[in-house]
Amino acid sequence: MTVMMGFTGSPLDRADHIRRDAEAVAVARMHPAARWLVLDELRPVIDVSRAGFDLFWARRSEIPDGPGVFLGLDADGAPRFAVSGPAKEIIEDFDAELVDARAVAMRLADGRAAIVAQARSLLDWHARHRFCANCGAETKPAKAGYSRECGGCGAEHFPRTDPVAIMLALREDLALVGRQPRFPKGFFSALAGFVEPGESLEEAVMRELHEEAGIRTSNVRYVGSQPWPFPSSLMIGAFADADGFELAIDGEEIEEARWVSRAEVAAALAGTGSWMAPPPMAIAHHLLAAWVAEGLPTRAAND
């Protein structure tokens, strides 16, 4: 069975035509099948009853009084929303718990975690942008939670997504992995960094690999992407060919890096290696797995 990357594959139809119609949003809120995902301090309420680990969808009468957003329509056309507020009463009345979004992605690998990512990023953005960056006046939610409007200058603000390049440098039949000081002991992953203004993805990949590991790279190719709602990033995975093996670690963002073989990566992914690989919910895991499974060509040392 193929393991789905965490926070991807949402089953909801985001229904943009409803977002832009205030009356349609109001009708959706009153729909008898409308349900809300409640997040308390950005942790979603999870149903932990005998039926299993699942998202807890609250009825309108059960939700706290707090800011909310429209998420979309489920497969049956039922409206789905998210709301931020205290969930104490729900937890007391039902078999439910607050669970960190990362843990949700570890447990729900069929697209439901993507709903959490959407809700978490939007609600966090609203909490951070209550005032206009243009004039400082208070803003209010608009378009069912997908923008904020300024009551002072009339500016309209939209949720942002921050692109992050995450990549494997490849040379001959080896790949470069590294570890940050905050990682657990023995844990290695792909290198990563934010794409800067005025920079393409390819340029960001080459710059980050040079800054963090001291290597020059070329032939950057896109592999895949993953939403990362902490608070609202898009991880963009890539491979790049390295010009050499010699490393110069920056010592701050990366404390150790090493070249590893396909066999070593396969063992780490299986949990039997000498180092720990990222879990299946992370795009870094899928980058490593794709390199092992596909055997993508890299440049020979005498190129």
At 66 the pLDDT is 84
By CB atoms closer than 10 A (0-12, 13-18, 19+), residue 37 is buried
Query: Are residues 38 and 85 in contact, defined by beta-carbon separation less than 8 angstroms?
Result: yes
DSSP 8-state class, residue 189: B
Rounded CA separation 119/69 (Å):
8
pLDDT tens-digit series, residues 80-112:
999 999 999 999 999 999 999 999 999 998 899
- For residue 40, report the phi and psi dihedrals to the nearest 5 degrees: -110, 115
Q: Select from 101, 218, 117, 121 the least CA-distant residue to 167.
A: 218
Q: What is the mean pLDDT of residues 2-14?
A: 89
pLDDT tens-digit series, residues 40-60:
999 999 999 987 899 999 999
Task: With 0.85 as the threshold, say if the pTM is over it.
Answer: yes
Cite the DSSP H helix spans in the chain: 16-19, 22-30, 88-93, 101-107, 112-128, 201-213, 262-270, 283-294
